[in-house]
Structure formats: C-alpha cells, structure tokens
Amino acid sequence: MSFDAVDVIRTKRDRRELSDAQIDWTIGAYTEGVIAEEQMSALAMAILLNGMTRREVARWTDAMLRSGERMDWSGLSRPTTDKHSTGGVGDKITLPLAPTVAACGAAVPQLSGRGLGHTGGTLDKLESIPGWRASLSNEEMLAVLDRTGAVVCAAGSGLAPADRKLYALRDVTGTVESIPLIASSIMSKKIAEGTGALVLDVKAGSGAFMKSVVHARELARTMVDIGTDHGVRTVALLTAMDTPLGRTVGNALEVDESVEVLAGGGPEDVVELTVALAREMLAAAGLTDAKDPADALRDGSAMDVWRTMISAQGGDPDAPLPVAKETHEVLAAESGVLSRLDAYGVGVAAWRLGAGRARKEDPVAHAAGIVLHAKPGDLVRAGQPLMTLHADDPERFERALAALDGAVEIGEREDARRPLILERIA
Ligand code: URA
C-alpha cells in the first residue's frame, strides 16, 4: 500500500494516530529514499511534540526491526540474555557483567556502540586493550559466544538500517529527545540482536540522557512494553546517575577498574550494580538455580571468562594498557565532606581530555580520562587531591578544568543521597 508523505506528516501534526499500514510504508519508503530527509524530519518533530500510542510505538519498532536482519542464536545450548544501558559517566558495567553472567551459565550476545558526547561507549573502552577487535562476522560472533559464553562486538550494518538513518537525522534536527523515538531506536536494535531476555539499565540524573526519574520511568516503561510485545522477556532497573560510577572515567582507566572488579575487588557501586544486573539477567533467562554472580566474581570464574573472551577477539588480557603522557591533580579547596561530584561535569571534563568524541568519525584517546580519589560522602582535607586528570596533550587541562567548575562541592555534610538502584520495572 502506498501513502503520501505529506498526509502522514499531517496525521501526526494534527495529533491523530498513524495506522499500521502508514507506519510500515513510512519506514520502508524512508529507508529506500522515497521519503525525503526534510519530510522525515518534519514527521520526527511531529512525533516529538505529539507522542505515540503503545500500538504505534510497537509497530514503529517492528517496522525498523524488519528493515534489516535478525540474529538467530537458537543453535546455542545456553539461553541468551543481554543488558542495555541508556548511558552514563563511568558506566563500565558491561565489562565485568558479560563475563560474570556467562560464568553463571547464560550466553550474552552484546552488540555495542561507540560513545558520542559526554558518555563513553563500551567498544571504545575495550579497544584500549592491545589487539582487541570490535568487528566480527556473524560466524565469528557465534563461535566466540559458543566457546566463551559472551561476545561484545560492533553491531553490523545489517541490523535495523532504518534506525541508523533516522538516528543520524534526529541528531541534527533536535528530535533525539522523544521517548517513543528513543525507545523504538534502542529496542529495534536489541530485538534484532536476537536475545531471548533483556535487562535495561535506565539511568536518571545529571550525567544521564534522562535527567528526571519521571522521564526515565516513562522511557523504561515504553521499552519494557516493546520488548514484551515482541516476545523478549524484558525488565528495567532505574538507576541513579548523579555522580560517576566507580572511581574512573575514560577508556583504559575503566578497563583497569573492571579488571579489579573481576578480580573480586573494585568500587562498591560498580560491584553492586554488576551483581544486581547479573541476577536480573539470569532470572529473565529462566536460570533461577544458577550460581550467584557475587560468587562468580569472588571465585575467579568471571575473570576466567573475561580472559578467554578478550583473547578470542585478538586481545591480550595481560598486555599493559595505554598510559597518558600528562597528568594534573585537582586539589580540595577546603576541608569538609565532599557533598557533590556532578556526573555531567566530570563526563564533559573527561570528554575534553580526549576520552570521548564530538563527531562519529573522530578518534578517542584511549589513555585520557579522570581518576577520582574521593566520592560523595567522603571526608576531605584542604589541599588533598580530589581527582587526577589524564591526557596526552597538556593543553586539554584548561578546558577540562572549566567543565569541572561548579561540579564539585565541599560542605559540612553530604546532601541527601539517592540509592543507586531506584526502581524495578517489569
Ligand atoms: N540510543 C539509541 O540507540 N537511540 C536513541 O534514540 C537514543 C540513544
């Protein structure tokens, strides 16, 4: 069935519902270049302003999913389960999580992306390991998954091509921040990845995409509904992103910290979230009698999977990670309690040091980033180092320091802190 793009735009502009046939035609015609970019940007803006019903979002996701291939892991002996995070500062959780869940008996087929803006990307972090390769063929992916229980690699261009085109358009037309468009974009890729179960880590706070819990909850609800409507057992945790996760921000620095967690140590918040998400992933996969993820971290079995998983993709788990040429310490201006350490400010500072990219095609500096020596609630003394900035180019320190202006507060007591895990949505 064929429609007129202007009629489809008018339907949404006038707050009416798009029919299934209109949605299918729109996504197909846009992917094939029949709908012009300016028409799709008008429609995306109408969706941003007027929203979509649950049926419309489900159909929109389905049409994007059908624009490309869908992976099939049915030949594996273990059930598949995956996690998606909406992105935060210092969010390295995938690195310890995937091998931990594999060590407990599930298979984790994780197709990841690179970072854009102030939040980092899992592939950028793993690429700081000498030799590690993000691009695998479908056959290689299956072989690594079958042998090690976890594969983390780049999503191929065959997965939801309609989303790739639409996301690039939204990025330059002020239409990224639409809950139906974000939810359908993420879920079309995750469902195409072929996982049987999915746990969403939806972040709320200054360092997250969604600043308020109300919006994060709505995004989580929309994504859980889409997953459920497509037969993927989907659960979401709403988690706080007011302050960075762990004590490192930046690619190689975060790999280092992840290895500490896999060795049974590491910062409390990273361990707490890794274990909570791993338990959810195993439960969603139906593995209710599985080994507990906290034990897999303690007994070295998660570390064993990490080492085989990294080696299977050409990486050397024992190779030294890149180290920045220059460092700069940020000192506490006064004594007291570190009452605030703002995730967004730290994320932007790490990005300006070279840890992130401004445009898709930019390279990242693997050694750049920030090591935090104090977290909210810690007592600090005037003159004590609060954090160390790492960069290859010392000229970057000034702009990074400007991003930290107002991000650090020292007071008499800590501001009321939210728990890390705020809500569970199923
Ligand atoms: N990540 C995605 O993949 N899509 C969005 O729309 C936003 C974040």
Tens-place pLDDT, residues 157-211 = 889 999 989 988 998 899 988 999 999 999 999 999 999 999 999 999 999 989 9
Looking at the CA of residue 185, tell me the nearest atom of ligand 1: 4
**What is the whole-number distance in angstroms between the Cα of residue 185 and the centre of ligand 1?**
5
User: What does the pLDDT look like over 250-273, one tens digit per residue?
Assistant: 999 999 999 999 999 999 999 999
Looking at the CA of residue 181, tell me the nearest atom of ligand 1: 6
**What is the whole-number distance in angstroms between the Cα of residue 186 and the centre of ligand 1?**
5
**Which residue has a Cα nearest atom 7 of ligand 1?**
182
Find residue 249's DSSP bridge partners. 370
**Which residue has a Cα nearest atom 5 of ligand 1?**
182
Looking at the CA of residue 189, tell me the nearest atom of ligand 1: 3
**Which residue has a Cα nearest atom 2 of ligand 1?**
186
Looking at the CA of residue 186, tell me the nearest atom of ligand 1: 3
Measure the CA–CA gap between 314 and 262, rounded to whole angstroms: 20
CA angle at 195 for the pair 191 and 200, rounded to the nearest 5°: 75
- Structure-derived torsion over alpha carbons of residues 61, 124, 89, 381, reported in degrees to the nearest 10: 170
**Which residue has a Cα nearest atom 3 of ligand 1?**
186
Q: β-strand 326-331 against 379-380: which pairing, if any? A: unpaired
Measure the CA–CA gap between 170 and 181, rounded to whole angstroms: 9
Among all chains, which residue has been given the structure tokens 């980092």? 120
389 within 8 A of 330, measured Cβ to Cβ: yes
Find residue 236's DSSP bridge partners. 200, 425
Residues 6 or more apart whose CB falls under 8 angstroms from that of 366 comprise 124, 127, 128, 251, 252, 321, 322
**Which residue has a Cα nearest atom 1 of ligand 1?**
186
Q: Which segments of 250-357 does DSSP mark as H helices, in order?
A: 251-262, 268-284, 293-298, 301-312, 343-350
**What is the whole-number distance in angstroms between the Cα of residue 132 and the centre of ligand 1?**
25
Measure the CA–CA gap between 170 and 182, rounded to whole angstroms: 10
Which positions are annotated as active-site residues?
84, 163, 170, 185, 189
237 within 8 A of 279, measured Cβ to Cβ: no
**What is the whole-number distance in angstroms between the Cα of residue 182 and the centre of ligand 1?**
5
The full 3-state SS of 8-38, as one line of letters, equals HHHHHHCCCCCCHHHHHHHHHHHHCCCCCHH
**What is the whole-number distance in angstroms between the Cα of residue 275 and the centre of ligand 1?**
25
pLDDT at 346: 98
Looking at the CA of residue 176, tell me the nearest atom of ligand 1: 6
CB atoms within 10 A of CB 414: 17
pLDDT at 120: 75
pLDDT at 199: 98
CATH code assigned to 5-51: 1.20.970.10
Q: β-strand 369-372 against 326-331: which pairing, if any? A: unpaired
CA 323 to chain centre: 24
pLDDT at 415: 72
Which residues of the chain fall short of a pLDDT of 50?
none
Count how many residues are written for the chain: 426
pLDDT at 116: 66
Which fold does the domain 326-411 belong to in CATH?
Answer: Aldehyde Oxidoreductase; domain 3 (3.90.1170)
CA angle at 343 for the pair 339 and 347, rounded to the nearest 5°: 140
DSSP E strands, 103-240? 108-112, 150-154, 197-204, 233-240
Q: Which of 167, 177, 209 to mutate to test the pocket of ligand 1 (most atoms within 8 A of CB)?
A: 167
DSSP E strands, 98-156? 108-112, 150-154
Q: Which of 165, 176, 188, 203 to mutate to test the pocket of ligand 1 (most atoms within 8 A of CB)?
A: 176
203 within 8 A of 85, measured Cβ to Cβ: yes
pLDDT at 2: 86
User: What does the pLDDT look like over 28-37, one tens digit per residue?
Assistant: 999 999 999 9
Using CB distances shorter than 6 Å, the residues near ligand 1 are: 167, 176, 181-182, 185-186
Measure the CA–CA gap between 149 and 137, rounded to whole angstroms: 17
Find residue 162's DSSP bridge partners. none
pLDDT at 114: 79
CATH 1.20.970.10 range(s) for the chain read 5-51
Phi/psi of residue 49, nearest 5 degrees: -80, -35
Q: Which of 61, 164, 175, 186 to mutate to test the pocket of ligand 1 (most atoms within 8 A of CB)?
A: 186
Phi/psi of residue 139, nearest 5 degrees: -70, -40
pLDDT at 40: 97
**What is the whole-number distance in angstroms between the Cα of residue 176 and the centre of ligand 1?**
8
**Which residue has a Cα nearest atom 8 of ligand 1?**
182
**What is the whole-number distance in angstroms between the Cα of residue 260 and the centre of ligand 1?**
30
Measure the CA–CA gap between 255 and 56, rounded to whole angstroms: 40
Q: Which of 48, 182, 219 to mutate to test the pocket of ligand 1 (most atoms within 8 A of CB)?
A: 182
CATH 3.90.1170.30 range(s) for the chain read 326-411
- The three-class DSSP label of residue 339 is strand
Closest listed residue to residue 142, CA positions, set 197, 187, 190, 80:
80
